[in-house]
């Protein structure tokens, strides 16, 4: 049980120590051959200070061939589980280590592995140790040179980081390429790719006039799907110059798309490796959502070149230093290029849904974790999305100009080095003069803070008060909580919807209130009437807000709030109230009833000719069942499902004939990827859903017609989703047609797998199992797994949580298999099993039984061990 003993070794943030040795440069030589690849690593080492400590290198799954020191065979070493320890090294030396690895047998997709015919790497967080013995930690910054040799016909392209400095032919039909990366980097940014590709080429001239070659490598035959990724890359480079003043630093930027990839993409210096899902798109294969995703991820990885690569993390506990900041940057990029309101809404959906659920579960951790067993488990919504919210709050507190001054100071101080989260906050504080003392607690405190606000109006004096109480409930990792610095953005409206200026005793008050204490009161005068407050505008902090709004006040905000986000948010609160009320009624055997106010407010939205159809679609799209479950201490899964369905039906009846009129008005000529058209298609999809709730027979005809006449994947899929979600008569026929058309293309077929996994019917598990036998499905491909099993376990609440436990059993059986094949992907898919806090006692017992089965598994990987043991400790 070697894995389990490893599993027990947690690492603590407090234990950070500078390394005993530095590595200034490393020359790598890869001889790619089947089945074994020979790796020679020549490192120039330098002792850090005076000491007699041995050098401990990390290494996993390596076959050690030889070690020599300064050219002489070396024997003073010890091989341990995951390590190689070398004794009595001189203060400076050149260490040569030769190892063999077997990339074709690497199904964990970490280190060097094969994706189809191509070789590729994934080193973050700790994958480099699967390539060679090395100090695999991010504070070791070395200059890399990489020589790759391989068969020339099968692997015409041999790629690595930096600039190509030599290439040539070798005996036996082989060739080599030599790369040199001038920028010192941590091992997690190393990359290598070898294969045969089609290449999309372009270039970018930086603001200082340097010409950068841009190359996107895709599987042969996919060149017609690479154009949008290239456009997004160019947009990213331009945007980062314009908004952040940051310029690219190498002569070449390469992106390679591969089919087997554990996550979205990886920012390796000069050579990004991408999940093909975030590169390939054309109107026939990709939805509008896919296009958005590509723009976002291409941007994200590009922005890492400065926030991540030029300034990297001192240790992995600091991950949010690069991830929270880079998510913030990619969100700003998407918002500057597209609709700010719609982007904000979707980002907030992620925080309020899955991130809040993470806070409430056994994996709760601060954005800068304190203790980690398996680092890959901490690429979380908390580190990324909440991390980005923390950066956004600083941006709100400082304003754009001071924030950018902070960024400049941060680069001035830390460019070319490994930094900490504290370093970042310090730069922001020093550049702006804004006190971020209490704000720093956001980095050390986990959980979702709750703001409870009450108000008070005195008509005689015209004084309006907001009483704000903050409280963070305990989380599994941290029982005690302290008050935080919470920026609370507000606006007040009079009965006509006009804004009331915020002031007190003749002084204007800004929109952002600084909530610092457990209880605080904010006072405003010259308030002529009792106002309707718009609170936590733009989700100015990642908190839960409690304010006792009436339906009327929320309907008022849906109409009058000046900010798009606030209008959507009011609609969400109105629906949430209705769901809470509806579930209580259903549990008492009563019918769901919606207020006239709610119905009228939504009817007005549908009828509003001035509203951006994209925002309209966001307001009309009801929150998902998993997000609604977060409203309850004990979530009644079946009741939530029923109430949500009935709300949709009641709204549809209220809309009546306007639905069809709206639907017909949204037909478009030829497909274009522009906001105006994407907005209309989004609304059309939502309206089609309401039509199906209203009249399944009429909807069946509309869906068939939309499916057969669609000239793009967005409309096609919208039709299929409605057929599937409402179990229309055409469902089986259309799904079969789609499967037949796209059986050969895994990426597109993923849409079909998602439909199968989310079928809202009791026989779904049978269909899921059948789909697993599809020739294009493979348990080794993370995209296929996530599409089919992820949709079943994460978005098919009623069926996954079936009271007979079949859903839990199915997922556990699969996780047991995946534990061997790909622990990282297993550890992602387990999420719905460990977040069982809100389930009823019966379901909880079933889940615990499955988790216990996993806990008792021989050879349980660290990844699952960490989550399973925490979940069972609940």
Minimum CB distance to Zn ion, residue 278 (Å): 12
Minimum CB distance to ligand B3K, residue 236 (Å): 13
When CB distances are held under 5 to 8 angstroms depending on the partner's kind, the choice from Zn ion, ligand B3K, none that residue 619 binds is: none
Minimum CB distance to Zn ion, residue 341 (Å): 24
Tell me the C-alpha distance between 547 and 606, whole Å: 26
**Residue tagged 């090395």 (tokens):** 134
Minimum CB distance to Zn ion, residue 190 (Å): 16
Asked if 112 and 131 touch (Cβ cutoff 8 Å), the reply is yes
Residue whose CB is less far from Zn ion, 303 or 410: 303
Helices then strands, each counted (H, E), the chain: 31, 34
Residue whose CB is less far from ligand B3K, 326 or 812: 326
Neighbours of 319 (CB within 10 A): 26
Minimum CB distance to Zn ion, residue 307 (Å): 9
Tell me the C-alpha distance between 189 and 555, whole Å: 50
Residue whose CB is less far from Zn ion, 330 or 767: 330
Q: Which residues are CB-neighbours of 732 under 8 A, at least 6 positions away? A: none
Residue whose CB is less far from Zn ion, 272 or 446: 272
How many residues belong to the chain? Answer: 874
Residue whose CB is less far from ligand B3K, 144 or 176: 144
Residue whose CB is less far from Zn ion, 419 or 719: 419
Tell me the C-alpha distance between 708 and 700, whole Å: 12
> How many CA atoms lie less than 13 Å away from 410 in the CB half-sphere?
30
Neighbours of 599 (CB within 10 A): 16
Angle at 363 between CA 357 and CA 364, to 5 degrees: 65
Enter the tokens of residue 36.
């074994």
Minimum CB distance to Zn ion, residue 124 (Å): 9
Residue whose CB is less far from ligand B3K, 58 or 646: 58
Minimum CB distance to Zn ion, residue 323 (Å): 5
Torsion over CA: 297, 300, 304, 305 (sign): positive
When CB distances are held under 5 to 8 angstroms depending on the partner's kind, the choice from ligand B3K, Zn ion, none that residue 97 binds is: none
Neighbours of 856 (CB within 10 A): 9
Tell me the C-alpha distance between 75 and 80, whole Å: 15
Residue whose CB is less far from ligand B3K, 268 or 285: 268
Judged by DSSP in three states, 111 sits in: strand
Minimum CB distance to ligand B3K, residue 303 (Å): 9
User: What mask of x and - would describe binding to Zn ion in positions 319 to 358, judged by CB under 5 A?
Assistant: ----x--x--------------------------------
When CB distances are held under 5 to 8 angstroms depending on the partner's kind, the choice from ligand B3K, Zn ion, none that residue 248 binds is: none
Judged by DSSP in three states, 326 sits in: helix
Residue (of 427, 653, 396, 655) closest to 514 by Cα position: 396
Neighbours of 696 (CB within 10 A): 15
Residue whose CB is less far from ligand B3K, 290 or 323: 323
Residue whose CB is less far from ligand B3K, 338 or 782: 782
Asked if 319 and 779 touch (Cβ cutoff 8 Å), the reply is no
Asked if 57 and 106 touch (Cβ cutoff 8 Å), the reply is no
Residue whose CB is less far from Zn ion, 315 or 323: 323
Q: Which residues are CB-neighbours of 275 under 8 A, at least 6 positions away? A: 257, 258, 259, 261, 263, 264, 265, 783
Torsion over CA: 52, 19, 82, 856 (sign): positive
Asked if 624 and 635 touch (Cβ cutoff 8 Å), the reply is no
Residue whose CB is less far from ligand B3K, 264 or 696: 264
Asked if 754 and 787 touch (Cβ cutoff 8 Å), the reply is yes
Q: Which stretch binds Zn ion (CB under 5 A): 131-139, 317-325, 439-447, 547-555?
A: 317-325
Diameter over CA atoms, the chain: 95
Minimum CB distance to Zn ion, residue 185 (Å): 15
When CB distances are held under 5 to 8 angstroms depending on the partner's kind, the choice from Zn ion, ligand B3K, none that residue 379 binds is: ligand B3K
When CB distances are held under 5 to 8 angstroms depending on the partner's kind, the choice from ligand B3K, Zn ion, none that residue 347 binds is: none
**Residue tagged 């050149």 (tokens):** 94
Residue (of 645, 641, 575, 644) closest to 605 by Cα position: 575
When CB distances are held under 5 to 8 angstroms depending on the partner's kind, the choice from Zn ion, ligand B3K, none that residue 863 binds is: none
User: Is residue 172 reached through a cis peptide bond, with omega within 30 degrees of 0 on the bond before it?
Assistant: no
Q: How far apart are the first and last CA of the chain?
A: 25
Minimum CB distance to Zn ion, residue 425 (Å): 19
**What are the distances in angstroms from CA 124 to CA 137, 266, 330, 835?**
10, 8, 20, 26
When CB distances are held under 5 to 8 angstroms depending on the partner's kind, the choice from ligand B3K, Zn ion, none that residue 376 binds is: ligand B3K
User: What mask of x and - would describe binding to Zn ion in positions 264 to 303, judged by CB under 5 A?
Assistant: ----------------------------------------
Residue 400 annotated to the active site? no
Minimum CB distance to ligand B3K, residue 127 (Å): 8
When CB distances are held under 5 to 8 angstroms depending on the partner's kind, the choice from Zn ion, ligand B3K, none that residue 263 binds is: ligand B3K
When CB distances are held under 5 to 8 angstroms depending on the partner's kind, the choice from Zn ion, ligand B3K, none that residue 124 binds is: ligand B3K
Residue (of 294, 257, 252, 246) closest to 269 by Cα position: 252
Minimum CB distance to ligand B3K, residue 388 (Å): 11
When CB distances are held under 5 to 8 angstroms depending on the partner's kind, the choice from ligand B3K, Zn ion, none that residue 731 binds is: none
Question: Where do contacts with ligand B3K occur on this chain (CB under 6 A)?
Answer: 124-125, 263, 265-267, 300-301, 304, 323, 376, 379
Residue (of 201, 208, 217, 234) closest to 155 by Cα position: 217
Cβ-count burial 459-487 (b if 16+ within 10 Å, e if not): eeeeebbbebbbebeebbbbeebebbbbb
Judged by DSSP in three states, 651 sits in: helix
Q: Which of 301, 630, 767, 866 is catalytic?
A: 301
User: What mask of x and - would describe binding to Zn ion in positions 725 to 764, judged by CB under 5 A?
Assistant: ----------------------------------------
Interface with Zn ion by CB under 5 A: which residues?
A: 323, 326
Active site amino acids: 301
């Amino acid at each position: 049980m070697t894995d389990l003993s490893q599993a027990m070794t947690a690492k603590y943030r407090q234990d950070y120590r500078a390394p005993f040795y530095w590595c200034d440069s490393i020359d790598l030589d890869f001889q790619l051959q089947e089945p074994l690849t020979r790796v020679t690593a020549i490192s120039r080492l330098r002792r850090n200070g005076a000491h007699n400590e041995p050098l401990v290198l990390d290494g996993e799954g390596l076959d050690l061939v030889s070690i020599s020191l300064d050219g002489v065979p070396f024997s003073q070493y010890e091989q341990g589980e995951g390590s190689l320890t070398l004794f009595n090294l001189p203060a400076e030396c050149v260490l040569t280590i030769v190892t063999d690895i077997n990339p074709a047998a690497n199904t964990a997709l970490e280190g060097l592995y094969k994706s189809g015919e191509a070789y590729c790497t994934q080193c973050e967080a700790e994958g480099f140790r699967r390539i060679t013995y090395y100090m695999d930690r991010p504070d070791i910054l070395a200059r890399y040179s990489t020589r790759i040799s391989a068969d020339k016909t099968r692997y015409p392209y041999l790629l690595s980081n930096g600039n190509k400095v030599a290439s040539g032919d070798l005996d036996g039909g082989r060739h080599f390429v030599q790369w040199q990366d001038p920028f010192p980097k941590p091992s997690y940014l190393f990359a290598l790719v070898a294969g045969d590709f089609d290449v999309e080429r372009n270039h970018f001239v930086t603001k200082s006039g340097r010409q950068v070659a841009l190359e996107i490598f895709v599987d042969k035959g996919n060149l017609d799907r690479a154009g949008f990724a290239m456009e997004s890359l160019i947009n990213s480079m331009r945007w980062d110059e314009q908004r952040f003043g940051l310029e690219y630093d190498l002569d070449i930027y390469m992106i390679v798309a591969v089919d087997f990839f554990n996550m979205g993409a990886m920012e390796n210096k000069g050579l990004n490796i991408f999940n093909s899902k975030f590169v390939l798109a054309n109107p026939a294969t990709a939805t509008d959502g896919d296009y958005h995703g590509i723009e976002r991820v291409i941007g994200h990885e590009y922005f890492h070149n400065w926030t991540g690569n030029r300034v990297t993390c001192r240790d992995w506990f600091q991950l949010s230093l690069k991830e929270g900041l880079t998510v913030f940057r990619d969100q700003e990029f998407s918002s500057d290029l597209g609709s700010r309101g719609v982007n904000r809404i979707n980002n907030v959906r992620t925080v309020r849904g899955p991130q809040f659920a993470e806070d409430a579960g056994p994996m709760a951790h601060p954005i800068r974790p304190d203790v980690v067993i398996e680092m890959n488990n901490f690429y979380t919504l908390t580190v990324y999305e909440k991390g980005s919210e923390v950066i956004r709050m600083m941006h709100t507190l400082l304003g754009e100009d001071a924030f950018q001054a902070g960024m400049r100071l941060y680069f001035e101080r830390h460019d070319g080095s490994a930094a900490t989260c504290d370093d970042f906050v310090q730069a922001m504080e020093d550049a702006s003069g804004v006190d971020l003392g209490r704000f720093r607690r956001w980095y050390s405190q986990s959980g979702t803070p709750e703001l409870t606000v009450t108000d008070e109006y005195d008509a005689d004096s015209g004084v309006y008060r907001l009483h704000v109480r903050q409280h963070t409930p305990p989380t599994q990792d941290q029982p005690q909580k302290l008050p935080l610095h919470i920026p609370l953005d507000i606006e007040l409206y009079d009965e006509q919807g006009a804004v009331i200026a915020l002031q007190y005793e003749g002084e204007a008050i800004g929109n952002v209130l600084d909530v610092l204490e457990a209880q605080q009161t904010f006072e405003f005068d010259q308030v002529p009437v009792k106002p309707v407050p718009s609170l936590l505008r733009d989700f100015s902090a990642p908190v839960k807000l409690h304010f006792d709004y009436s339906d009327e006040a929320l309907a008022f905000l849906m109409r009058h709030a000046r900010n798009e986000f606030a209008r959507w948010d009011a609609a969400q609160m109105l629906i949430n109230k209705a769901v809470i009320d509806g579930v209580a009624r259903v549990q008492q055997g009563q019918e769901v009833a919606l207020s006239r106010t709610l119905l009228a407010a939504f009817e007005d939205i549908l009828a509003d000719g001035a509203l951006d159809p994209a925002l309209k679609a966001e307001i009309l799209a009801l929150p998902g069942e998993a997000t609604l479950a977060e409203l309850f201490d004990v979530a009644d899964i079946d009741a939530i499902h029923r109430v949500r369905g009935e709300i949709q039906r009641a709204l549809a009846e209220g809309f009546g004939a306007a639905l069809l009129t709206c639907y017909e008005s949204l037909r478009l000529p030829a497909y274009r990827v522009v906001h105006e058209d994407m907005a209309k298609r989004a609304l059309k999809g939502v309206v089609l859903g309401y039509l199906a709730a209203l009249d399944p027979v009429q909807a069946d005809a509309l869906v068939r017609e939309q499916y057969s006449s669609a000239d793009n994947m967005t409309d096609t899929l919208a039709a299929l989703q409605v057929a599937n979600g409402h179990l229309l008569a055409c469902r089986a026929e259309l799904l079969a047609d789609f499967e037949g058309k796209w059986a050969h293309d895994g990426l597109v077929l993923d849409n079909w797998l998602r439909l199968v996994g989310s079928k809202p019917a009791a026989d779904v598990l049978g269909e899921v199992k059948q789909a697993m036998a599809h020739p294009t499905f493979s348990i080794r491909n993370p995209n296929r797994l996530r599409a089919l099993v992820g949709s079943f376990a994460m978005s098919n609440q009623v069926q996954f949580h079936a009271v007979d436990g079949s859903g839990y059993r199915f997922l556990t059986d699969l996780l047991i298999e995946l534990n061997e094949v790909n622990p990282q992907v297993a550890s992602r898919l387990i999420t719905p099993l460990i977040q069982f806090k809100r389930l009823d006692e019966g379901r909880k017992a079933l889940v615990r039984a499955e988790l216990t089965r996993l806990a008792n598994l021989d050879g349980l990987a660290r990844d699952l061990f960490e989550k399973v043991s925490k979940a069972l400790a609940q």
